[in-house]
Chains A and B, each alone.
Chain A
Protein backbone atom coordinates (compact mmCIF):
# COMPACT_ATOMS: atom_id res chain seq x y z
CA UNK A 1 0.00 0.00 0.00
CA UNK A 2 1.41 3.35 -1.09
CA UNK A 3 0.26 6.61 0.48
CA UNK A 4 -0.49 9.09 -2.28
CA UNK A 5 -2.13 11.98 -0.43
CA UNK A 6 -3.45 12.98 2.97
CA UNK A 7 -5.16 16.30 3.67
CA UNK A 8 -7.85 17.86 5.86
CA UNK A 9 -10.51 20.21 4.50
CA UNK A 10 -13.23 22.31 6.12
CA UNK A 11 -16.66 20.67 5.95
CA UNK A 12 -18.07 23.18 3.48
CA UNK A 13 -19.58 22.74 0.05
CA UNK A 14 -16.89 24.91 -1.51
CA UNK A 15 -14.33 22.28 -0.40
CA UNK A 16 -15.90 19.78 -2.82
CA UNK A 17 -14.14 21.10 -5.92
CA UNK A 18 -10.74 21.18 -4.18
CA UNK A 19 -11.16 17.62 -2.87
CA UNK A 20 -12.30 16.55 -6.35
CA UNK A 21 -9.15 18.08 -7.91
CA UNK A 22 -6.94 16.31 -5.38
CA UNK A 23 -8.50 12.93 -6.06
CA UNK A 24 -8.48 13.54 -9.83
CA UNK A 25 -4.72 14.21 -9.74
CA UNK A 26 -4.08 10.97 -7.87
CA UNK A 27 -6.41 8.90 -10.07
CA UNK A 28 -4.73 10.28 -13.17
CA UNK A 29 -1.29 9.36 -11.79
CA UNK A 30 -2.62 5.87 -11.02
CA UNK A 31 -3.54 5.41 -14.69
CA UNK A 32 -7.36 5.57 -14.67
CA UNK A 33 -9.14 6.60 -17.87
CA UNK A 34 -11.54 9.52 -18.20
CA UNK A 35 -14.66 7.43 -17.55
CA UNK A 36 -13.23 5.89 -14.38
CA UNK A 37 -11.98 9.27 -13.17
CA UNK A 38 -15.46 10.77 -13.61
CA UNK A 39 -16.88 7.85 -11.62
CA UNK A 40 -14.35 8.47 -8.82
CA UNK A 41 -15.06 12.23 -8.88
CA UNK A 42 -18.79 11.56 -8.56
CA UNK A 43 -18.43 9.05 -5.72
CA UNK A 44 -16.10 11.35 -3.75
CA UNK A 45 -18.35 14.37 -4.29
CA UNK A 46 -21.41 12.45 -3.13
CA UNK A 47 -19.59 11.03 -0.09
CA UNK A 48 -18.34 14.47 0.97
CA UNK A 49 -21.77 16.05 0.37
CA UNK A 50 -23.32 13.35 2.57
CA UNK A 51 -20.77 14.08 5.32
CA UNK A 52 -21.67 17.78 5.32
CA UNK A 53 -25.42 17.23 4.97
CA UNK A 54 -25.98 14.18 7.19
CA UNK A 55 -23.00 13.73 9.54
CA UNK A 56 -22.46 17.42 10.26
CA UNK A 57 -26.04 18.54 9.46
CA UNK A 58 -24.70 21.62 7.72
CA UNK A 59 -21.60 23.55 6.72
CA UNK A 60 -18.75 24.63 9.01
CA UNK A 61 -19.48 22.04 11.72
CA UNK A 62 -16.28 20.02 11.32
CA UNK A 63 -13.61 18.82 8.93
CA UNK A 64 -13.25 16.14 6.26
CA UNK A 65 -10.03 14.13 6.35
CA UNK A 66 -9.07 12.72 2.96
CA UNK A 67 -6.56 9.89 2.56
CA UNK A 68 -5.70 8.40 -0.83
CA UNK A 69 -3.65 5.21 -1.05
CA UNK A 70 -2.87 2.90 -3.93
CA UNK A 71 -1.72 -0.58 -4.76
CA UNK A 72 -0.57 -1.70 -8.22
CA UNK A 73 -4.12 -1.92 -9.57
CA UNK A 74 -6.40 -0.08 -7.18
CA UNK A 75 -6.91 3.33 -5.65
CA UNK A 76 -8.46 3.61 -2.19
CA UNK A 77 -10.07 6.82 -0.95
CA UNK A 78 -10.82 7.15 2.73
CA UNK A 79 -12.96 10.02 4.01
CA UNK A 80 -13.26 10.60 7.76
CA UNK A 81 -15.46 12.95 9.76
CA UNK A 82 -16.43 13.58 13.40
CA UNK A 83 -20.12 14.08 12.83
CA UNK A 84 -23.03 12.01 14.06
CA UNK A 85 -22.89 8.29 13.19
CA UNK A 86 -23.92 7.60 9.61
CA UNK A 87 -25.68 4.32 8.94
CA UNK A 88 -26.16 3.64 5.21
CA UNK A 89 -28.89 1.12 6.08
CA UNK A 90 -31.08 4.09 7.06
CA UNK A 91 -30.92 5.55 3.55
CA UNK A 92 -33.73 4.24 1.33
CA UNK A 93 -32.97 2.98 -2.17
CA UNK A 94 -33.86 5.62 -4.72
CA UNK A 95 -36.72 5.02 -7.13
CA UNK A 96 -34.94 4.98 -10.49
CA UNK A 97 -37.72 3.51 -12.62
CA UNK A 98 -40.81 5.47 -11.64
CA UNK A 99 -42.52 8.33 -13.42
CA UNK A 100 -41.51 11.91 -12.69
CA UNK A 101 -44.25 12.27 -10.06
CA UNK A 102 -43.06 9.14 -8.24
CA UNK A 103 -39.47 10.29 -7.88
CA UNK A 104 -38.12 12.00 -4.79
CA UNK A 105 -34.79 13.45 -3.84
CA UNK A 106 -33.40 10.78 -1.59
CA UNK A 107 -30.67 8.20 -1.84
CA UNK A 108 -29.12 9.15 -5.18
CA UNK A 109 -25.71 10.00 -3.71
CA UNK A 110 -25.25 6.69 -1.90
CA UNK A 111 -26.59 4.86 -4.96
CA UNK A 112 -23.95 6.56 -7.16
CA UNK A 113 -21.20 5.62 -4.71
CA UNK A 114 -22.20 1.95 -4.66
CA UNK A 115 -22.68 1.73 -8.43
CA UNK A 116 -19.56 3.61 -9.49
CA UNK A 117 -16.96 2.20 -7.10
CA UNK A 118 -15.83 -1.42 -6.79
CA UNK A 119 -16.04 -1.47 -2.99
CA UNK A 120 -17.69 0.93 -0.54
CA UNK A 121 -17.82 0.41 3.19
CA UNK A 122 -18.71 2.52 6.20
CA UNK A 123 -17.36 2.30 9.73
CA UNK A 124 -18.03 4.20 12.92
CA UNK A 125 -16.15 4.23 16.21
CA UNK A 126 -16.24 6.62 19.15
CA UNK A 127 -12.49 7.24 18.68
CA UNK A 128 -12.30 7.67 14.91
CA UNK A 129 -15.83 8.87 14.09
CA UNK A 130 -17.24 8.01 10.67
CA UNK A 131 -15.06 6.69 7.90
CA UNK A 132 -16.15 5.74 4.41
CA UNK A 133 -13.68 3.78 2.31
CA UNK A 134 -14.10 3.50 -1.45
CA UNK A 135 -11.97 1.37 -3.76
CA UNK A 136 -11.70 1.51 -7.56
CA UNK A 137 -9.51 -0.88 -9.52
CA UNK A 138 -8.00 -0.43 -12.98
CA UNK A 139 -9.12 -3.71 -14.44
CA UNK A 140 -12.50 -4.12 -12.82
CA UNK A 141 -15.48 -4.57 -15.17
CA UNK A 142 -17.39 -1.60 -13.65
Chain B
Protein backbone atom coordinates (compact mmCIF):
# COMPACT_ATOMS: atom_id res chain seq x y z
CA UNK B 1 0.00 0.00 0.00
CA UNK B 2 1.14 3.55 -0.76
CA UNK B 3 -0.30 6.68 0.82
CA UNK B 4 0.54 10.23 -0.20
CA UNK B 5 -0.89 13.46 1.22
CA UNK B 6 -1.12 16.72 -0.68
CA UNK B 7 -2.09 19.91 1.13
CA UNK B 8 -4.49 21.86 -1.05
CA UNK B 9 -5.98 25.29 -0.39
CA UNK B 10 -9.21 24.11 1.25
CA UNK B 11 -8.48 20.47 2.14
CA UNK B 12 -5.89 17.73 2.21
CA UNK B 13 -5.96 15.15 -0.57
CA UNK B 14 -4.90 11.69 0.61
CA UNK B 15 -4.23 9.26 -2.23
CA UNK B 16 -4.18 5.56 -1.38
CA UNK B 17 -2.95 2.81 -3.69
CA UNK B 18 -2.68 -0.95 -3.38
CA UNK B 19 -4.00 -3.27 -0.72
CA UNK B 20 -5.51 -2.09 2.59
CA UNK B 21 -5.72 -5.03 5.01
CA UNK B 22 -4.78 -5.78 8.63
CA UNK B 23 -1.10 -5.52 7.69
CA UNK B 24 -1.33 -2.10 6.05
CA UNK B 25 -4.36 -0.43 7.70
CA UNK B 26 -2.20 0.91 10.59
CA UNK B 27 -0.12 2.84 8.04
CA UNK B 28 -3.27 4.37 6.54
CA UNK B 29 -4.38 5.32 10.04
CA UNK B 30 -1.04 7.04 10.70
CA UNK B 31 -1.19 8.90 7.40
CA UNK B 32 -4.68 10.25 8.14
CA UNK B 33 -3.65 11.12 11.70
CA UNK B 34 -0.82 13.28 10.34
CA UNK B 35 -3.53 15.52 8.88
CA UNK B 36 -5.94 15.45 11.80
CA UNK B 37 -3.17 15.89 14.39
CA UNK B 38 -2.19 19.05 12.49
CA UNK B 39 -5.77 20.33 12.74
CA UNK B 40 -6.70 19.50 9.14
CA UNK B 41 -10.16 17.90 9.25
CA UNK B 42 -11.29 18.58 5.66
CA UNK B 43 -10.00 15.53 3.84
CA UNK B 44 -10.56 13.95 0.44
CA UNK B 45 -9.41 10.33 0.25
CA UNK B 46 -8.81 9.09 -3.28
CA UNK B 47 -9.36 5.31 -3.31
CA UNK B 48 -9.11 4.96 -7.10
CA UNK B 49 -5.88 2.97 -6.88
CA UNK B 50 -7.00 0.63 -4.13
CA UNK B 51 -7.47 -2.96 -5.26
CA UNK B 52 -8.50 -4.45 -1.90
CA UNK B 53 -10.03 -2.96 1.26
CA UNK B 54 -10.79 -5.21 4.23
CA UNK B 55 -12.79 -4.47 7.38
CA UNK B 56 -9.51 -3.33 8.97
CA UNK B 57 -9.41 -0.53 6.40
CA UNK B 58 -13.10 0.22 6.93
CA UNK B 59 -12.48 0.65 10.66
CA UNK B 60 -9.72 3.17 9.93
CA UNK B 61 -12.01 5.17 7.64
CA UNK B 62 -14.89 5.08 10.13
CA UNK B 63 -12.78 6.16 13.10
CA UNK B 64 -11.18 8.91 11.02
CA UNK B 65 -14.60 10.13 9.91
CA UNK B 66 -15.65 10.30 13.58
CA UNK B 67 -12.54 12.36 14.35
CA UNK B 68 -13.12 14.74 11.43
CA UNK B 69 -16.84 15.25 12.02
CA UNK B 70 -16.52 15.87 15.76
CA UNK B 71 -17.69 19.42 16.66
CA UNK B 72 -18.71 19.86 13.00
CA UNK B 73 -15.11 20.74 12.24
CA UNK B 74 -14.75 18.79 9.03
CA UNK B 75 -15.45 15.67 7.01
CA UNK B 76 -13.84 12.93 4.96
CA UNK B 77 -15.12 12.73 1.41
CA UNK B 78 -14.33 9.61 -0.64
CA UNK B 79 -13.35 9.90 -4.30
CA UNK B 80 -12.99 7.36 -7.13
CA UNK B 81 -14.10 4.37 -5.04
CA UNK B 82 -13.83 1.27 -7.28
CA UNK B 83 -17.21 -0.49 -7.81
CA UNK B 84 -16.24 -3.70 -6.01
CA UNK B 85 -15.14 -1.70 -2.96
CA UNK B 86 -18.30 0.43 -3.12
CA UNK B 87 -20.32 -2.81 -3.04
CA UNK B 88 -18.47 -3.92 0.09
CA UNK B 89 -19.09 -0.52 1.72
CA UNK B 90 -22.76 -0.81 0.84
CA UNK B 91 -22.98 -4.30 2.34
CA UNK B 92 -21.97 -3.04 5.77
CA UNK B 93 -23.94 0.20 5.60
CA UNK B 94 -20.95 2.49 5.15
CA UNK B 95 -22.43 4.35 2.18
CA UNK B 96 -24.56 6.46 4.55
CA UNK B 97 -21.47 7.51 6.53
CA UNK B 98 -19.59 9.17 3.65
CA UNK B 99 -20.18 11.35 0.61
CA UNK B 100 -18.88 9.80 -2.60
CA UNK B 101 -17.52 11.51 -5.72
CA UNK B 102 -16.59 10.06 -9.09
CA UNK B 103 -13.52 12.25 -9.41
CA UNK B 104 -11.12 14.11 -7.14
CA UNK B 105 -11.90 17.56 -8.57
CA UNK B 106 -15.59 17.25 -7.67
CA UNK B 107 -14.75 16.13 -4.13
CA UNK B 108 -12.18 18.85 -3.53
CA UNK B 109 -14.60 21.43 -4.95
CA UNK B 110 -17.11 20.65 -2.20
CA UNK B 111 -14.85 22.18 0.48
A interface residues with partner B (beta carbon < 8 Å): 12-14, 16-17, 20, 34-35, 38, 41-42, 45-46, 49, 52-53, 94-97, 100-101, 103, 105, 108-109, 111-112, 115-116
Within the complex, the shortest CB–CB distance from A92 to chain B, in Å, comes to 14
Sample of 12 further A-B pairs with CB below 8 A, known A14-B23, A17-B21, A94-B92: A16-B21, A16-B22, A20-B52, A38-B84, A42-B54, A49-B22, A52-B22, A53-B22, A95-B93, A100-B97, A112-B92, A115-B91
What would 26 A/B residue contacts be, using CB atoms closer than 8 Å? Answer: A12-B23, A13-B21, A17-B21, A34-B84, A35-B87, A38-B52, A38-B84, A42-B52, A45-B52, A46-B55, A49-B21, A49-B22, A49-B55, A49-B56, A96-B93, A100-B62, A100-B66, A103-B62, A105-B59, A105-B62, A108-B55, A108-B58, A109-B54, A111-B92, A112-B55, A112-B88
> CB-nearest residue of chain B relative to A20?
B52
Q: Is B80 an interface residue (CB 8 A)?
A: no
B interface residues with partner A (beta carbon < 8 Å): 19, 21-23, 52, 54-56, 58-59, 62-63, 65-66, 69, 84, 87-88, 91-93, 97
| Contacting residues, chain A, for B59 (C-beta < 8 A) | 105, 108
Within the complex, the shortest CB–CB distance from A89 to chain B, in Å, comes to 19
* CA A13 to CA B66, docked complex, whole Å: 26
